[in-house]
Amino acid sequence: MKYYREFDAGQTIVWSGDELNFVASVVDGIASLSQTMEDGRRQMVGLLLPSDFLGRPGRTAAPYDVTASTNVTLCCFRRGPFEQLMNTTPHVAQRLLEMTLDELDAAREWLLLLGRKTAREKIASLLAIIARRKAAIAQHDHESDFTFDLPMTREAMADYLGLTLETVSRQVSALKRDGVIKLQGKREVTIPDFSRLLDETGDDSDGGFLV
Amino acid sequence: MKYYREFDAGQTIVWSGDELNFVASVVDGIASLSQTMEDGRRQMVGLLLPSDFLGRPGRTAAPYDVTASTNVTLCCFRRGPFEQLMNTTPHVAQRLLEMTLDELDAAREWLLLLGRKTAREKIASLLAIIARRKAAIAQHDHESDFTFDLPMTREAMADYLGLTLETVSRQVSALKRDGVIKLQGKREVTIPDFSRLLDETGDDSDGGFLV
DNA sequence: CTGAAATTTTGACATGGATCAAGGAAGCTC
DNA sequence: GAGCTTCCTTGATCCATGTCAAAATTTCAG
């Protein structure tokens, strides 16, 4: 009923439209969901982190491309037994509902970003989200310097933010020039003043710090 | 435990950040979810149609503004009893999960639209989605003429599509000039050739017709 | 019917981000 | 450590969409 599968970074896990005869939980690594138009325009529509769920009960066709961003380990369940489990243990459905509602909120926050934010605000928002996630894990004080590693290429950032990679590069440079962030190399980012970064996101300044 | 509330068109049902001490199901009418930035930029992030659900188990703060687009009737449940119900009857959680997954898919389709589509493609996509929904209800043949009423102002369209209302107006005029749609008055739209409209959405041409 | 308010269209112009193009930096392989 | 290859930056230019302004149309109360 349950088995593990591994994928290398960059490998496609499922193609949009393919039949998906299992559901899975991410054990390790990061995978991304994306949609691609016929002419190649691409938009990332979601991120799967460890403990996130892939696939949905009652549908076999995958609606998006799923790509391994890092090496990924999945814990897969065949569809039949899994749906059995859902019917018999209410907590599974409830837990899945919680997670799906969180993903929906994240997607809707992203709608505002894609629909209404400027390029600079988009970059600042992405950096703030990543920084916040890492800071939460590290139990770090938000008020002082904080350094983290950007886990994605400029192109991946562009695909998330609905921009071109040139614009991403320019805006990152601009934020650096303006002292909002510092860079060591291309990927290591330091935030000297978190509230300064938050000002640049365009979001309400009084919003709660923790997500 | 259960009671009804009514709202007039245009009225705000909940403000973002307010405490929401009930959950509800839409009985009649259409409500929209939106987020507004401090400087007034606004993005619609979802639509509630009859049978859709408002609020979520385990959280009291509303994450979005909820506005009645038409007169709306809600069937409200107090939070405590509802969460009881969820724990005891597995089908409720499962049904809610189904609905949430559908909303998530819709939101992700919208991410592609907002992030990567041109203004013309956005308008065509919106018209196609509305037309499809009405056609599905009317059991109408997709190949021939089809007329429907646009249930929103140009400004509301702009808020959905991440455009300005001037751009919406111009692109609607352009689609009319090019014969993709016809207009009787401002709000009544005729689609002479549905596949022609679909070509303008930028979506895969071979995608299934029925959502 | 009449006038005021709301909605939509249209025009002129500005601009943010895309596009096209070139070159630089950083990893990897051998 | 030389030479690929991938990733990133920067510059020049263009164009889709935003902005500002005004007029046209529709709606609706009285």
Going from the first residue of chain B to its last (211 residues), give the mean pLDDT of each consecutive group of 10, the final group possibly shorter.
90 92 92 93 94 89 91 93 86 89 95 98 96 74 74 94 97 96 89 93 68 41
The distance of Cα A6 from the centroid of its chain, to the nearest Å, equals 20
Q: Hey, of B65, B84, B97, B160, which one would you mutate to test binding to chain A, going by the most A CBs within 10 A of its CB?
A: B97
Is residue A92 very low, low, confident or very high in pLDDT (cuts 50, 70, 90)? Answer: confident
Q: Hey, of A34, A112, A121, A168, which one would you mutate to test binding to chain B, going by the most B CBs within 10 A of its CB?
A: A112
Chain A residues within an 8 Å CB radius of B162:
114-116
The residues in B 32-71 lying below 8 A from A, measured between CB atoms, are 33, 35, 37-39, 41-43, 45-46, 56-58, 63-64
Structure tokens at B57: 């188990």
Distance from the Cα of B84 to chain A's closest Cα (Å) equals 12
**Average pLDDT score over residue span A77-94:** 88
Chain B residues within an 8 Å CB radius of A112:
35, 37, 43, 45
* Distance between CA atoms of residues A137 and A135, nearest Å: 5
DSSP per residue over chain B, as a string? Answer: -EEEEEE-TT-EEE-TT-B--EEEEEEES-EEEEEE-TTS-EEEEEEE-TT-EESBTTB-B-SSEEEESS-EEEEEEEHHHHHHHHHH-HHHHHHHHHHHHHHHHHHHHHHHHHHH--HHHHHHHHHHHHHHHHHHHHT--TTS-EEEE--S-HHHHHHHHTS-HHHHHHHHHHHHHTTS-EEETTTEEEES-HHHHHHHH-S-TTS-S--
The residues in A 97-116 lying below 8 A from B, measured between CB atoms, are 97-98, 100-101, 103-105, 107-112, 114-116
Quick one: closest CA in B to A90, which residue? Answer: B90
| Closest nucleotide relative to residue A116's CA, C1' based | D18
pTM of the model: 0.92
* Distance between CA atoms of residues B79 and B61, nearest Å: 12
Q: Indicate the average pLDDT of chain A.
A: 89
Given this model, what pLDDT does residue A57 score? 85
Chain B residues within an 8 Å CB radius of A103:
104
* Distance between CA atoms of residues A146 and A135, nearest Å: 8
Given this model, what pLDDT does residue B75 score? 96
Given this model, what pLDDT does residue B142 score? 53
| Closest nucleotide relative to residue B153's CA, C1' based | C7
Structure tokens at B74: 């809600």
Given this model, what pLDDT does residue A208 score? 47
* Distance between CA atoms of residues B5 and B71, nearest Å: 11
3 state DSSP class of A59 = strand
Instruction: Kindly tell me if the per-residue pLDDT of A211 is higher than 50.
Output: no
Given this model, what pLDDT does residue B208 score? 47
From the list A30, A66, A62, A34, the residue with the least C-alpha distance to A48 is A30
Quick one: closest CA in A to B161, which residue? Answer: A115
